[in-house]
Amino acid sequence: MKSREVVLANRPVGMPKVEDFEIREVELPNPSAGEVLVRNVCMSVDPYMRGRMIDRKSYTAPFGVGDTLTGGAIGRVERSNHTQLREGEYVESHLGWREAFVAKDAGLRRLGELAAPASAYLGVLGMPGMTAYAGLLEVAELAQGESVFVSGAAGAVGSAVGQIAKIKGCTVVGSAGSAEKVRHLTEDLGFDHAFDYHDGHLERHIFEGAPQGVDVYFDNVGGDHLQAALNCMRPNGRLALCGAIAQYNATAPVPGPNNLAIAIGMGLTLRGFIVSNFNHLRDQFMRDMTAWVASGEVKYRETTFDGIDKAPEAFIGLFTGANTGKMVVNLS
């Protein structure tokens, strides 16, 4: 059986290009004892993957040039020589960027009965939803009724952040990159205020939605957003540092916020985190989020590309604002 995979052809410099990727066809072996053959239904592209394309020491090893990329994927077991995994069932794996694979169960998570379309398990019910949940509730210690600002609010993580904060009775302000995304945030997702960051008046917009300032800033963007947020924080405010998409393609070091010293007098806490350190919250997250999605309290949107050959384009689209909600590549 053949499967197509996406290989890192070169390390991107600056904004990634489709030529930095290569589609390769491989022949899959038959699953031996204890192995399964899984056909991926959909795969995830996420901003953090840009960091792994750089050759540097980080919390995960860099991708190797010439190697098949990896990432979140939802697949169906097509053939099983495994005692636990049944043919036809859905599994979540970290073996994305490929149409199918043969593996032992290591790293496969059984999804059981799906409570939503499979792709939701890449987004609101998957890593991005869990990132929002852990970042807001544990990293930022969000309390009922506080004011929250989230950047990249129309993305997979940001849109979950805003809606969870609303469920917790908070005032929610979000930034996004287009008028249509801003409309989506306030009209579809219930944000109290949203704005297009392109005019550059970030502080003014934030204070418009949170006139007394912000208790919690959930940072997906870094750069000017982080600097502006620091100017809008209330005493003892918390900043959950989740991502810095504004600088992932930078080719030189980017200066940090020139007002970080505000943190001293205001008693601010900036805390960086990666979701994999919060697995102790996973069951609670799945329970809560499944219920919120079922009740319609949390809505989600996806931007979809079809076919493994479109995966590079989908990935690049993360940095040009092509997605509203989760960026998903359909493989079935």
27/104 Cα distance (integer angstroms): 17
Measured in whole angstroms, how far is the alpha carbon of residue 35 from the centre of its chain?
A: 29
For a second copy, the closer of residues 249 and 304 by Cβ is 249
Output the furthest CA–CA distance in the chain (Å, rounded): 63
Stretch of 1-9, 36-44, 176-184, 234-242 lying at the interface with a second copy (CB under 8 A): 234-242
Contact between 58 and a second copy by CB under 8 A: the answer reads: yes
Nearest distance from residue 254's CB to a second copy, in Å? 6
Among residues 272, 284, 291, 332, the one that binds a second copy under rule CB under 8 A: 272
Q: Which two tokens stand for residue 11?
A: 């390390």
Stretch of 71-79, 100-108, 205-213, 247-255 lying at the interface with a second copy (CB under 8 A): 247-255
237 and 268 Cβ atoms separated by less than 8 Å: yes
Stretch of 30-38, 100-108, 252-260, 301-309 lying at the interface with a second copy (CB under 8 A): 252-260
DSSP state at residue 155: B
210 and 147 Cβ atoms separated by less than 8 Å: yes
Contact between 253 and a second copy by CB under 8 A: the answer reads: yes
170/153 Cα distance (integer angstroms): 15
Contact between 269 and a second copy by CB under 8 A: the answer reads: yes
**Three-state SS for 80?**
strand
Alpha helical stretches, state H, 184-238: 202-209, 223-230
Nearest distance from residue 311's CB to a second copy, in Å? 24
Binding mask 110-139 for a second copy (x = CB under 8 A): ------------------------------
Contact between 263 and a second copy by CB under 8 A: the answer reads: yes
313/142 Cα distance (integer angstroms): 36
68/21 Cα distance (integer angstroms): 10
Entry field: residues in the chain: 332
Q: How many CB atoms lie within 10 A of CB 265?
A: 8
75 and 138 Cβ atoms separated by less than 8 Å: no
Nearest to 257 by CA among 232, 233, 223, 234: 223
Among residues 10, 178, 186, 247, the one that binds a second copy under rule CB under 8 A: 247
How many CA within 13 A on the CB side of residue 125? 19
**Three-state SS for 108?**
coil
Among residues 45, 137, 202, 270, the one that binds a second copy under rule CB under 8 A: 270
Nearest distance from residue 30's CB to a second copy, in Å? 39
Among residues 88, 112, 211, 265, the one that binds a second copy under rule CB under 8 A: 265
Among residues 32, 83, 144, 258, the one that binds a second copy under rule CB under 8 A: 258
Nearest distance from residue 164's CB to a second copy, in Å? 20
Contact between 257 and a second copy by CB under 8 A: the answer reads: yes
Nearest distance from residue 98's CB to a second copy, in Å? 25
Contact between 169 and a second copy by CB under 8 A: the answer reads: no
Contact between 259 and a second copy by CB under 8 A: the answer reads: yes
Contact between 64 and a second copy by CB under 8 A: the answer reads: no
Binding site for a second copy (CB under 8 A): 51, 58-59, 222, 226-227, 235, 241-244, 247, 253-274, 277
